[in-house]
Structure 1
Amino acid sequence: MANAEERRFEVLRAIVADYVSNQEPVGSKAIVDRHNLGVSSATVRNDMAALEEEGYIAQPHTSAGRIPTDKGYRLFVDKLAEIKPLSSAERRAITSFLDSGTDMEDVLKRSVRLLAQLTRQVAVVQYPMMTNSTVHSLEVVPLTPARLMLVLITDSGRVDQRTVDLGDVITVDNVARLRTVLNSALTGRKVNDAAVRVAELPEQSPQELRDVLVRVCTVLVESLVDHPEERLVLGGTANLTRNVADFPGSLRQVLEALEEQVVVLKLLAAARNPGAISVRIGEENEDEQMRSTSVVSIGYGREDMLLGGMGVVGPTRMDYPGTIAAVRAVANYVGQILSGR
């Protein structure tokens, strides 16, 4: 029985490969001609009948070959013994392209463009989550005698800028004192801890800085407890229009869903650990508008700290081994670059 099951899986693998490549239903003769399975057409037909009965393949119309179902793709993905490796040239191109990024934002934009090009799908990258970051420094810049700019920088390279209207003028010396007080309280702390510390600062500071600190700390707390991790970079949307037939009657719905930030964040929600790939296929997607798509996502960062998520969205008729390899490689390089910044 084990041999029969293995053979049926090889038939399913052949159907997936041919359908992904040609977008045409696959018949038994094509499988025998293109794949060296060592069995007759009759045996392949019997295996296809069993696969269809179990819901792994379907016949789109009478007298046609078979195509994989969501269940069939799921079995195929779950049994991937190895992921198609990227070539040395592809790896060098990824490293060179991302290493050329001038700052975190540039690296993220480059990673989206690169991932969209490698997979020919829609790529999405989530900005590093502030809640998992540590405060690297806080710069206090006088814009006018009564207005300051606060520039919060995290260890992941994330930069958050806020302006504060003081309601009164502040001297250059007091700006310097303010900068020292804030950095002493924040630098090296996790963002959540920093938010608590900031809220306590006004009561613990010199009287002459207290009114200024009340205003500054109010703005800083908003910056630290906001949800800036919900910022996303999206690219390659036009790739979905290459094969409209992959989204019968639903391409517009998919494109509209991708414009909704909350929907896209849900797609990345499964990416909780750096390096751990998640693949959701068709009906497995929570959002109804996305049920004609597959989502390959991953977390990026260091082994001990998740910075954010990234992934690709495409039709269920997807090159899963190649897509998984590309997503994993780009996430690995982005995690290394941002963790080292």
Structure 2
Amino acid sequence: MTIDLRSDTITRPTLEMQRAMWAAEVGDDVLGDDPTINALEEKAARLFGMSAALFCPSGTMTNQLAIKVHTQPGSEVICDKLSHIYLYEGGGIMQNAFSSVRLLDGDRGRITARQVKDAINNPDDIHAAVTRLVSLENTMNKGGGSYYSLEEIRAIRRVCDDHNLPLHLDGARLFNALVETGESPAQYGLEFDSISICLSKGLGCPVGSLLLGKTDFIKKARRFRKVMGGGWRQAGYLAAAGIYALDHHVDRLKEDHARARTIGEMFRQKSEVEDIYPIDTNIVIIQLPESITAEDYVRRLEMLRIRAVPFGKHLVRFVTHLDFTDEHLEEMDKRLAKV
């Protein structure tokens, strides 16, 4: 067997999810009459206590739509230097929204209210870009699955309110945070102007993300989605997977977290591993010494049919997911003994 821990995006739909998909009633979403997509959007909006939602092909699209709607050309977006919207979305902030970025140096990707306040430009200073948006990521991919406290989010919200700034959440793995903290989606819906959630990571769907916000905001985002070529046709088959996942695949995320911590313990026994990021959710990041590059280590693991990704010159990332079982975990332990 191949043990694939490159990402939680590599999962296959379960048989039960497949049955839900093929049983879906579909229409044309561009025309607004795909009942299953409409049901998914309404379900997600209710879950977060927000007005509306928009089903999109990817989390990059939902993030980029949010930034586009919230900003104007020449704006500045505040985010952490490790943010997905900055590092992994193809320069979309600049290309789609014609905006610049103020990068903050947070704690494993988590910024503070004080940092945000200090980074907001004086709107009367004609030399500086106008700050238009603050964006957080929860959980933080490059931070090893770290997550915010709701208390800090509320403090950042107050700073945004004081400066009339919208607050966006890249919540690609938000449910991973929620099962750890015990907080509810509705609590997050109260704090953010827009939220992006991914259905194809920990929740195990084949494709799809959702953007949530107020009705007027989503109406504008829907127009920009069309401009970006993101209009669906009979995509209710995919939306049915999302509905199934929200109903059945959230609580089980705790299993992924437990297996991630076990993987961390395996690597603590390896002499070539210098350090391991704290394991808060389903992401494990190991740090290698200067003498071993991440590329070389990943190749060595590949020979044992263990798949991971280089995450820096000396960092390697492993992500647990729906298709990684206790059987895989036991087999991985045996194979790692050979490294």
Tell me the TM-score normalised to structure 2 length.
0.23
Report 1 or 2 for greater relative contact order, CA contacts < 8 Å, sequence distance ≥ 6: 2
Q: TM-score, normalising length from structure 1? A: 0.23
Is the helix fraction higher in 1 or 2?
A: 1
**Structure of greater Rg:** 1
